[in-house]
Chain A
Amino acid sequence: NAGVMQNPRHLVRRRGQEARLRCSPMKGHSHVYWYRQLPEEGLKFMVYLQKENIIDESGMPKERFSAEFPKEGPSILRIQQVVRGDSAAYFCASTGLQGAIGNTIYFGEGSWLTVV
């Protein structure tokens, strides 16, 4: 999928633990998006980041979820004190300088989180 790397691909956590999902955007891309796909549903926007900045977090749950995209290193989506309802596929996507407008957004392979 065009070089967007996500890890881990599969993650199992017990209720109350923390989950950290990592995303390395495609080379040269400075815009990162996180989406969540619940079973039987489409993808829902969570957060849009540029390097060191959160641009739009309107889709992020108010508690337990946070995201960052540091100057160096991958973007991290962090879920604290996971609950069963957090079980989902989390997709990272990236795009170039102009963001989504007119530019293709490339998706990673996803990270499947299972909370037991």
Chain B
Amino acid sequence: AQSVTQLGSHVSVSEGALVLLRCNYSSSVPPYLFWYVQYPNQGLQLLLKYTTGATLVKGINGFEAEFKKSETSFHLTKPSAHMSDAAEYFCAATEYGNKLVFGAGTILRVKS
């Protein structure tokens, strides 16, 4: 069965520093991959998605992620963190079916 693992339930970075949130998936076939952001008491907003084609995917708010099949990874990065990036981030995957499997989430804290 598909599973998604996010390394690090909490990540803390300084404002202006690189953001790296890790996501690995387990799948016998290349899945479709997504990153969502959730602000407190709100729903999920799509940051970016990988379906086919270019393995480096650019999303909103300066985020990007790279699909690496050999590493079964889809890590999320942003060159320079902003205070407004503080939120919880979820990696998700889907295979042939019509349901997303989510990782447990990573809470990003941005220090001033």
Q: A109 to B52: give the CA distance in the assembly, Å.
A: 28
Query: How many A-B residue contacts, CB cutoff 8 Å?
Result: 71
- Chain A positions within 8 Å of B, measured between CB atoms, are 1, 4, 6, 31, 33, 35, 41-45, 48, 55-56, 59, 91, 93, 95, 99-102, 104-110, 112
Most chain A Cβ neighbours within 10 Å, of B34, B90, B99: B99
Most chain B Cβ neighbours within 10 Å, of A33, A41, A105, A110: A105
Q: In the complex, are the beta carbons of B98 and A55 less than 8 A apart?
A: yes
Q: In the complex, are the beta carbons of A45 and B44 less than 8 A apart?
A: no
Q: A101 to B102: give the CA distance in the assembly, Å.
A: 15
Which residues of B lie under 8 Å from residue A105 when comparing CB positions?
A: 34, 46, 100
Which size bracket describes the interface of B in this complex? 20 to 34
Q: B25-46 vs A: 1/0 string, CB under 8 Å?
A: 0000000101010000111111
Q: In the complex, are the beta carbons of A42 and B45 less than 8 A apart?
A: no
Q: In the complex, are the beta carbons of A99 and B98 less than 8 A apart?
A: yes
- A32 CB, min distance to chain B CBs, angstroms: 10
- A41 CB, min distance to chain B CBs, angstroms: 6
Q: In the complex, are the beta carbons of B97 and A56 less than 8 A apart?
A: yes
Q: In the complex, are the beta carbons of B98 and A91 less than 8 A apart?
A: no
Q: In the complex, are the beta carbons of A100 and B97 less than 8 A apart?
A: yes
Q: A112 to B42: give the CA distance in the assembly, Å.
A: 10
Q: Taking CB as reference atom, which chain B residue is nearest A89? A: B41
Q: A104 to B34: give the CA distance in the assembly, Å.
A: 9
Q: In the complex, are the beta carbons of A104 and B49 less than 8 A apart?
A: yes
